[in-house]
Amino acid sequence: MSESSLLAISTGLKPLSRLQHPRDVIRQFTPNWFTVVMGTGVVALALDRLPATHDLLAPVPLGLWLASVLLFVTFCLVYGARWIFFFDGARRIFGHSTVSMFFGAIPMALATLLNGLLIFGPPYLGSETVRIALPLWWIDVVLAMICAVAIPYLMFTRQEHRIDQMTAVWLLPVVTAEVVAVSGGLLAPALVGESQQLAVIVTSFVLWGVSVPLALSILAILVLRMALHNLPPREMAASSWLSLGPLGTGALGLLVLGQAGGPILAAGGFPAAPEILRITGLIGALILWGYGAWWFLLSLAVTVRYLRAGVPFNLGWWGYIFPLGVYALATLRIGEVTELSGFAWLGAGLVGLLTLLWLVVSVRTLRGAYRGELFVSPCLAGA
């Protein structure tokens, strides 16, 4: 074996070998990393919804959720350190037309963890689960609204965008609100006070309204963009799957909020609410799910095309995971509500595909993080 080959192998085995200095882990850290938490968390939630998982692999979803919590805390500390020690570089994100969109990944990651807390927490924490979740949810509401308003404001006033450069990444700050809305639908029934329940469920419906109509308008523009300018570059190959996010989450939100909101609104003086929300929620969810099915099939075709040309690995690959995860959860929930076995089987198949993709992306992420090649902040280009 040649000396150059041995040098390449030894360099590859060295931690963070692609970075000039270990502190570049902090200097180059971006909110993109929170998509790892979103993806791992949604896999835990999806596996928990499968009956077979409860019987055969019960510790797996809990373990994945705990790993997501650990990752979230670690990423918060690292990203906070970047703002403390590399403030001038960190603030460049506000002017970057792509990386700034990933601010939405932070509250979405927190919402995913809150969902897991409400599912996995009660056997271990009891009533403390809700006491922990409620203030965190309100914090997440504030973060989601900041992202939903501030990032588009930056797009309109500070950043430069062109229709031919548009990708589904535009959806990230917008979808945040509906992801938090789903968490509110899970949290509200667990609360004790009627006033708290009503406040949470009404806020959740408002968050859904903030997000879904705007997301649908962005999707309409995205279809026009692809018709006029063809597909995005291969580095953004996974972005086509992001379109499943608002549709899957929107459908899931209607079902969850409809189920939770009916009894709460009925107790608040609206006796017809349970039946109205049940029917309208199901119809609305089916419509959004059908639109999502179109995007799912299109994304499959687009992905095959990209793979033939070769797709370089980057953190954007996590864009395959979370959108598919929420779409799988919506599919399973529709199966439960309608009692149609077709949705149950399809949902199980989607969870299987989701798990396989998560394994592939996780392994490649661990390898890239070990080498340091994934710690890249486009905001610092030319700095």
Domains and CATH numbers, the chain: 20-376 (1.50.10.150)
Band (pLDDT 50/70/90 cuts) for residue 59 is: confident
What is the pLDDT at residue 312? 87
What is the pLDDT at residue 5? 47
Q: Residue 9: is its pLDDT beyond 60? A: no
Asked if 68 and 130 count as a contact pair (C-beta separation under 8 A), the reply is: no
Largest CA distance in the chain: 80
What percentage of the chain has pLDDT greater than the value 70? 95
By mean pLDDT, which of 164-178, 301-315, 346-360 is the weakest? 301-315
Query: Which tokens is 241 given?
Result: 């799957």
| Higher-scoring residue by pLDDT: 285, 379 | 285
What is the pLDDT at residue 233? 85
Per DSSP, 192 falls in state S
What is the per-residue pLDDT across 284-305, written as a single tens digit (0 to 9) for each?
A: 999 999 999 999 999 999 999 9
Q: Residue 54: is its pLDDT beyond 70? A: no
Mean pLDDT of the region 139-160: 96
What is the per-residue pLDDT across 253-270, written as a single tens digit (0 to 9) for each?
A: 999 999 999 999 999 889
Number of H helices, E strands in the chain: 15, 0
What is the per-residue pLDDT across 194-247, written as a single tens digit (0 to 9) for each?
A: 999 999 999 999 999 999 999 999 999 999 999 999 888 888 888 889 999 999
3-state secondary structure 98-151: CHHHHHHHHHHHHHHHHHHHHHHCHHHHCCHHHHHHHHHHHHHHHHHHHHHHHH
Q: Residue 193: is its pLDDT beyond 70? A: yes
Band (pLDDT 50/70/90 cuts) for residue 13 is: low
What is the pLDDT at residue 12? 52
Q: Which residues contact 192 (CB under 8 A, 6 or more apart)?
A: 130
What is the pLDDT at residue 383? 54
Q: Residue 191: is its pLDDT beyond 90? A: yes
Per DSSP, 233 falls in state P
Query: Which tokens is 291 given?
Result: 């639109």
Per DSSP, 158 falls in state T
Q: What is the mean pLDDT of the chain?
A: 92
Q: Residue 90: is its pLDDT beyond 90? A: yes
Asked if 354 and 328 count as a contact pair (C-beta separation under 8 A), the reply is: yes
What is the pLDDT at residue 382? 55
